[in-house]
Amino acid sequence: MLTRLDCDGLQSARECAVVTEIVALPRPFGSRYGVPVISCVDATIFHRAYFTHCLQCTFCHDWCCQYGVDVDMYHYQRIQRHADRLEVFTGIRREHWFTGEYEEDPQAPGGGSMRTSAMDGGCVFLNRKGRGCLLHVFCLEEGIDYHELKSMVDCLFPITFYEEILGPADEVDDASLVCLDTGPTLYRGLRGELEYYFGGEFVRTLDETEAHVARS
């Protein structure tokens, strides 16, 4: 049974300036790593849109890669396992990859995250000779699934998760995302990634939620 929750109880979680429609899911869903666990969805992901096909975008210049990204410890450890080859591939020594700032977070795979460094106006792993992410290109060239090295928040952007709610990233809420409202909705653009992380039943439930929200 889908229920609507008004914003009052969640003011502290997200500083909701506008009434946000948070819909409770029939049960909690844990990711393939166990966490995060999602039990509600912010219906904004069914309303707002973004370009989605990043490598074909001709106007953003990888805008959302300029500040670096949080890498959960599950993926941080896997990046370290490939460090020797990644150093050769990127031409950047491993001590320059992360800021060293560790943030504990029980909802992040591996229990916390490290931040990638930003240099010369972009994430350390930004592909300066082409588009997108060097970790992604490395995986493609090495025949590795990119989900093995790229962090969950990175692959799901501009959708994110906080306190068991699946919702839009801050760059959607504050409308700073330069490709906002071009392309499919956040949900439709990232349905495949959500299915990878949370499974088929999860996206079928979100399909139902999307239809429920559209009807109301």
Give the binding site for ligand SF4 (CB under 6 A).
Answer: 50-51, 54, 57, 60, 62-64, 178-179
> Nearest approach, Cβ of 70 to ligand SF4 (angstroms)?
16
Question: Which residue, 107 or 182, is less far from ligand SF4 as judged by CB?
Answer: 182
Amino acid letter, 176? S
Q: Closest separation between CB of residue 57 and ligand SF4, Å?
A: 4
Whichever of 151 and 205 has its CB closer to ligand SF4, that residue is 151
Cα dist. 216→21, 25, 51, 188, 212 in Å? 11, 16, 26, 19, 6
For residue 114, which of 93, 134, 130, 94 has the smallest C-alpha distance?
A: 94
* Least distance to ligand SF4, CB of residue 161, Å: 17
| Closer residue to ligand SF4 (CB): 86 or 190 | 190
Measured from the CB atom, the residue of 29 and 187 that comes closer to ligand SF4 is 187
Q: What's the closest the beta carbon of residue 81 comes to ligand SF4, in angstroms? A: 27
Are 183 and 51 in contact by the 8 Å Cβ rule? The answer is yes
Scanning 53-142, the segments in alpha helix (DSSP H) are: 73-81, 83-90, 134-142
* Beta bridge mates, 71: 114
